[in-house]
Amino acid sequence: MEITLVLMLALLGVPLFGAVIAGLVRGRATQVVAAIASLVTAILGVDLVVRAYGSKASFTLGGLPWLPGSTGAGIFGLAIDPLSSIMVLVITVIGFLVVLYSTEYLGPRNAEHPVRDGYERYYFWLLAFLGSMVGVALSPNLLQLFIFWEMTTLCSWALISHSQQPAAMRAGFKALVITHIGGFAYLFALLILFAFTRSFEFAALGKLAGGMKAGTFVLLLVAAWAKSAQVPFHTWLPDAMEAPTPVSAYLHAAAMVKAGVYLVARLVGSGWAVPRELGLLIAVMAMVTMFMAVLAYFRQDDLKKLLAYSTIVHLGYVFVGLSLGIVGSTVGYQGAALHILCHGVAKATLFLCVGSIAYGAGTRRISQLSGLARVMPLEAVAFVVGVLAVTGIPPFASFWSKFFIFVGALESPGGIVLLILLAIESIISFSWLLWVAQKVFLGQPSVAAASAADPPWPMSFALVVGIILCLAAPYVGLPLVKLLAPGGF
């Protein structure tokens, strides 16, 4: 058995097996199990990416011989290539940081939300979330991806509702319903694909007739929009901030919402020509979503909800890059793939920073915070670095991914209009997030800030690593994205 297959099987199995064990043990042991399982998963993920660099490997594990017209082979398996390698890095490394951070965040010393029970349930679902996202990244076809896709929906519902408070229960149910609308669209697309091609391969869409090809792609696009919180399906994501902050960090940086953009990136890069009109549709909807979210910045007093709308904006950036790939810009497509990684590390750093603020100060309300830099210097540095990284200020993470997308816009017909709109968004987002940073961290300490302090070492360690990744991420991702092209690897 090839070492690549062994690594992929272990990468999928360790977090799922760890979830079962974490759900069975009690007390401090569940945290230890979760931390070890996530660390091993991260090590396996990095090892797999290094070994698979510059190549594409696919292994068949089984099939469904009773399907009409099926040979019974090639339906289930594992695959790794540069695009899935980017996802694996985001999923596993950020997953480990989130689990480690959670070991202290979820506890009785949390000033905002003291936690004294429910640890087994929390770590079961968090590790299952990690394993499900690994399954999404390594799936070789649309059917297997759909199975893990629905698993992420279930995990997100359970984690958003973790506190079992009425607001959290409503938010979890809302996320479940809205993302399942996309799930039904995905399922209908699978039925059409198999009925007319007898295949679930990503490239099988290219075998459909023109109108049916476009319609099936739109169904999958609806699924992606629902998962990635794009207009008109965006409302579930801000409400999902009822989840524990480490869950929010993982949801926004590496899981659930990234599954939607990954699906479209996989389809665009699968070797068949997506109609250019659909590229225009994706770009228009992305821009509508981005400016809706930007306008929502100005009425947010909750730091987490502000970051939620920022995530919606940056998922729009990924969709813009993918639309540029459809109309023929390789560099635009590469920028979209790189932005999955760069936005992921920046947004994880920002969310974990906000979690630390709430842990120490007991609130995440912008109006109640000032002067935090005096008592929480690490959080001040992490937040500013996260803002610089997410808005694309050189040399931080998103500079290169946004640079690629901007270049792709210039390469495309009518792209100058798109470039101007993206530049306007960048200026507004940078200015507003920097103003928020100034309001929260400078000046005299507020009443809430006066009693705060830097959190325990696991939380601080995650922030330090996040700061480092905000600088290092593009240089890790660039060698991978240079191997990508809209027509396939």
> Over the stretch 130-175, which tens digit does the pLDDT of each residue have?
999 999 999 999 999 999 999 999 999 999 999 999 999 999 999 9
pTM equals 0.96
The number of angstroms, rounded, from the C-alpha of 303 to the middle of its chain's C-alpha atoms is 19
The pLDDT of residue 117 is: 84
Other Cβ atoms within 10 Å of 216 Cβ, number: 23
- In whole angstroms, give the CA distance from residue 259 to residue 182: 12
Would you say 123 and 23 are in contact if contact means Cβ atoms under 8 Å apart?
yes
Is pLDDT of 72 > 50?
A: no
Per-residue pLDDT for 73 more than 80? no
Q: What is the pLDDT of residues 392-451, one digit of tens each?
A: 999 999 999 999 999 999 988 888 999 999 999 999 999 999 999 999 999 999 998 888
At 231-253, the pLDDT tens digits run 999 999 999 999 999 999 999 99
Using an 8 Å Cβ cutoff, are 46 and 93 in contact?
yes
User: How far does Cα 234 stand from its chain's mean position?
Assistant: 15
Q: Which residues contact 168 (CB under 8 A, 6 or more apart)?
A: 160, 161, 162, 242, 243
pLDDT of 335-364, one tens digit each? Answer: 999 999 999 999 999 999 999 999 999 999
